[in-house]
Amino acid sequence: MDQFQLDLPTFWFFVLAFFWVGYFVLEGFDFGVGMLLGVIARDNTDRRVLINTIGPHWDGNEVWLVVAGAGTFAAFPLWYATLFSSYFLPLLVIVIALVVRAVAFEYRGKHSSARWTANWDRAIMVCSLLPALLWGVALSGMLNGIPIDGDQQFAGNLLDLVQPYTLLGGLTTLSLCLLNGSVFLGMKTEDDLRERARTTSMRLAPVVVLLVTAFTAWTAWGVEGEIIPNLLMLVAVSGAIGAMVLTTGRQDEGWTFLVLALTIACLIGSLFVQLYPNVMVSTLGAARSITVEGAASGTYTLTIMTIVAVLILPVILAYQAVSYYVFRARVGRAQFEGVAQAISAVADKIGITEDDPPQSKVDSPRE
């Protein structure tokens, strides 16, 4: 890794790295909760509780991805073009999964049929799993390298994107999302659901430690003794072990969640630090790799982006902080069972049959 140069392209490279870290930390528990619908929940009421734990946050968390993608397009158009053309199929799958997942959140409670609800719940699980896996494959692939020719065009095929190292990276991010989701549910639910979330966390934690350790060890082979990425990877492994100790000791989930956030931040951050001064590595020769300086927009564009970021970023962070504070309360079955009983009582009074019960607005994750 070359000496850092404090210029606008380098500044924006690490700003984008910050947004990717934020996306994985925040959207990570969203994906985890979605994947765990079929593991922790026992019935539809349980699933409604789980979905409503992330209801006020999931769409806001996706803003981090939107900003990261738009920022890449504006600050590094060559990086954006090569990345999206190289990973077109995986990224298309991710986009479709995110769209279907959003639709599933909104539509699962729009019909009284159990089959209707179950199908949308399966869609949430699958469409949470795919991005959690494929984003890890894509990010680790940028560091591992893909065939990029002299015209900065992808010169390979799908098998060049799916290598043992990148698969391990995908499994690592997937496991971290699962553990992050189970710990988040431990913070946000009550009674039996909380106990099931804790049990799931205890089972997942050793797997996360194993995968994080294996991935960081493999990654360290290419670090060539650089202190910063090695330190970040060491902190990531230590954080994973700390999370395992906290879950085994059944301590407060809030501390475990913070330790996991640190683990994810250091793991993703180490990939970007090691990648610098490149944005994409070519397996056809170092001269064909795309660098930060070579992919960057002009000084005028980056200057305007910097001014806008300084003005807007504090507002985004403040909004999300307030959102998490306002919706900090736990969610339990009693809230939904009470609503269901009230609806049933009203239905009996006005003569609505069981075949066509009205749907509760609490089904919507935005409520």
Domain boundaries, the chain: 8-351
- Statement: residue 154 has pLDDT above 60: yes
**What type of residue sits at position 321?**
A
The pTM for the full model equals 0.86
| 133 close to 172: Cβ distance less than 8 angstroms | no
User: Please, which pLDDT band fits residue 18 given cuts at 50, 70 and 90?
Assistant: very high
Residue 355 above 60 pLDDT? no
pLDDT band at 190 (very low <50, low <70, confident <90, very high): confident
Contacts of residue 97, Cβ cutoff 8 Å, sequence gap at least 6: 126, 127, 128, 130, 131
d(CA 255, CA 257): 5
- What are the distances in angstroms from CA 299 to CA 88, 181, 302? 29, 41, 5
Q: Confidence band (pLDDT; 50, 70, 90) for 325? A: confident
Kind and range of the H or E run holding 162: none
Which residue, among 86, 184, 192, 193, has the nearest Cα to 144 in the 3D structure? Answer: 86
* Confidence (pLDDT) at 61: 86
Better pLDDT: 159 or 76:
76
Lookup: tokens for 296: 């960057």
Backbone φ and ψ for 281, nearest 5 degrees, come out as -100, 135
DSSP letters, 277-301, are: TEEE-BTT-GGGSEEHHHH---HHH
pLDDT of 101 over the 90 cut:
yes
pLDDT at 320 over 60: yes
When mean pLDDT is compared across 144-153, 176-185, 285-294, 351-360, the lowest value belongs to 351-360
Residue 353 has, within 13 A of its CA and on its CB side, a CA count of 2
Q: Is the pLDDT of residue 162 over 70?
A: yes
Q: Are 196 and 37 in contact (CB under 8 A)?
A: no
d(CA 299, CA 192): 56
Average pLDDT for residues 13-41, to the nearest whole number? Answer: 92
Question: Average pLDDT, stretch 269-298?
Answer: 90
pLDDT of residue 259: 92
Cα–chain-centroid distance for residue 249? 26
Tell me what pLDDT residue 62 has. Answer: 87
Lowest mean pLDDT among 6-10, 160-164, 258-262, 336-340: 336-340
- The pLDDT value recorded for residue 250 is 67
What's the whole-number average pLDDT of the chain?
85
pLDDT at res. 225: 60
- Contact predicate 331/49, CB 8 Å: yes
